[in-house]
Amino acid sequence: MPETHPKNQIVLAPSTEPYRGIKSVFLAGTTTKTDDRDWREVLAESLLDLPVTVINPYRPDWDSSWKEDITCDHFRRQVEWELEKQDGADMVVFYFHPATEAPISLLELGLCARAKKAIVVCPEGYKKRGNVQIVCRTYGLETVESLDALKPAIARRLPNNFS
């Protein structure tokens, strides 16, 4: 595991702690368990040596009984937190896993597209890949071919002499 940069930070929902990183990165995309380890956890670990605040909407206290409805306070506050953090982030990373449909991630990509701050991974096999590709091309969003390509893409958006 890489040595942790002093300005690196991982923020989980619903935290409101101030950011330490030079840049902030919101992790949007597939939330369904698809592999041995969650892609957000793997990416956050790979970024430990960079001065970034990683905003992970994962919520350890999530309760599956919360109704996905505006009248459910816990659910509403989670969605509002995610929208606020995406809007305020310097970068929003999207990962569309081929085994999922990720309709909320598609919605979030649409909300974020005009801001041109997204980095998108949409592998072959993702059901709506063509739609994602067209949105990315139309709005000039950066796309990378794999999860492994995300760290270099994020690092390129950092100032040259970060410390």
Contact 108, 58 (CB under 8 A): no
SS3 24: strand
CATH fold label, 9-156: Rossmann fold (3.40.50)
Region 60-79: what's the mean pLDDT?
Answer: 95
Asked if residue 44 has pLDDT above 70, the reply is yes
Query: When comparing pLDDT for 123 and 161, which is higher?
Result: 123
